[in-house]
Amino acid sequence: MPVLIYLIIILNIAIISEVNAQIKLQKVSEKMVYVFPPFKECHASTIVEVEKNRFLIAAFGGSREGNKDVSIWLSSSLDNNWLKPKMIDTGTSSDGIDYPCWNPVLFKSRSGKLTLFYKVGPSPREWWGMYKTSSDNGKNWSSSTRLPNGILGPIKNKPIQLENGTIISPSSTEIKNEEGLSWKIHVEMSHDDGANWKKIPIDQKTKFDVIQPSVLIHDEGKLQLLCRSRDNSLMQAYSNDNGLKWGKVTRTKLPNPNSGTDAITLKNGYHLLVYNPLKNGGDDRKKLSVAVSKNGIDWEDQIILEEKKGFEFSYPAVIESSDGKIHISYTYDRKNIKHVILTY
């Protein structure tokens, strides 16, 4: 009997240790993407691995966010150095009217197709979704194509692709109505590698204003969205059927100062979040941190990427590369984009 009790105690300790175990992140590299930025301001970067040890970063850049000269710029890495960025698209419409570009998102599906999604329009209340594709890892691109009405593409954060090939694109809308500005989230789903999309609304009656979700993957078809909000909290919503239906929007335990975040599920099953861990107020984007969670509920801040009074560090994008490293890009005070590599 004492031996059995001892074995049970040892087993329980092992289970508790496994549940409470956390990966430990380490920063191994950090570098500005632009040596000589060809624009006054830049923002809203996105990063993708196109082949082993080769990455692309896109961002919008121009004189100021929302101005008509704001275009999409693309940078390519070579031997861990970033090459001079190239303007890949402007917001000039077919009738010759100039509009600003917004929020590029790079995504490479398992078929090998690389897609650059972005938005064009006077403001986030009036913009529309655009995309262009590449079959040679970003060396050459198709002409720009407008997404169908009602489909915006991923608003800020990258899509995910499920084991069955379904692509889920996290999206949202900002609509001005009689009561003011209404923010709602939704996902856009494709079963044919992005050829066609279906919009799936999420909790349209919620009292919370939420946008810019990112997607975490749990077991047995469970998905979790983490969303920016105007309510001092990072918000969430869950699906138990791989994104076909979604529950209500609820608060997480994490603060959010109305600032964009990004999150991923790592290959080992842990979840990683990059965010501004502050509440609304002056200077609320001065700190950018990385947190880790085993269950998507309880988070541990592990690394402070930046913290400097009077500066803005915001709009992160995060991926895990084929060699298991974590790559993060983010806005560095609107003057540059910074690329950080972590290991665990």
CATH number at residue 241: 2.120.10.10
What does the angle CA 211 – CA 155 – CA 238 come to, to the nearest 5 degrees? 50
Would you give per-residue pLDDT tens digits along the chain (344 residues)? 455 444 444 444 444 334 445 799 999 999 999 999 999 999 999 999 999 999 999 999 999 999 999 999 999 998 889 999 999 999 999 889 999 999 999 999 999 999 999 999 999 999 999 999 999 999 999 999 999 999 999 999 999 999 999 999 999 999 988 878 899 999 999 999 999 999 999 999 999 999 999 999 999 999 999 999 999 999 999 999 999 999 999 999 999 999 999 999 999 999 999 999 999 988 999 999 999 999 999 999 999 999 999 999 999 999 999 999 999 999 999 999 999 999 99
Structure tokens given for 7: 């074995």
Residue 13 lies in a domain: no
Residue 317 lies in a domain: yes
How many CA atoms lie within 13 Å of 39's alpha carbon, on the beta-carbon side?
A: 27
The pLDDT score that the predictor gives to residue 12 is 47
The pLDDT score that the predictor gives to residue 264 is 98
Structure tokens given for 94: 């077919």
Residue 185 lies in a domain: yes
The pLDDT score that the predictor gives to residue 17 is 38
Residue 256 lies in a domain: yes
**Spatial contact of 336 and 329, defined as CB atoms under 8 Å apart:** no
Residue 7 lies in a domain: no
Three-class secondary structure of residue 15 per DSSP: helix
The pLDDT score that the predictor gives to residue 16 is 37
Residues 6+ apart with CB under 8 A from 184: 172, 173, 175, 201, 202, 204, 206, 210, 211
**In terms of pTM, does the model score above 0.85?**
yes
The pLDDT score that the predictor gives to residue 11 is 45
Three-class secondary structure of residue 82 per DSSP: strand
Residues 6+ apart with CB under 8 A from 314: 43, 259, 260, 276, 285, 288, 330, 331
The pLDDT score that the predictor gives to residue 3 is 52
Three-class secondary structure of residue 13 per DSSP: helix
Three-class secondary structure of residue 4 per DSSP: helix
Q: Return the closest-CA partner of residue 26 out of 213, 232, 303, 330.
A: 303
Domain count across the chain: 1
Residue 5 lies in a domain: no
Dist. CA 334–CA 327, nearest whole Å: 19
Domain that includes residue 308, residue range = 25-343
The pLDDT score that the predictor gives to residue 13 is 41
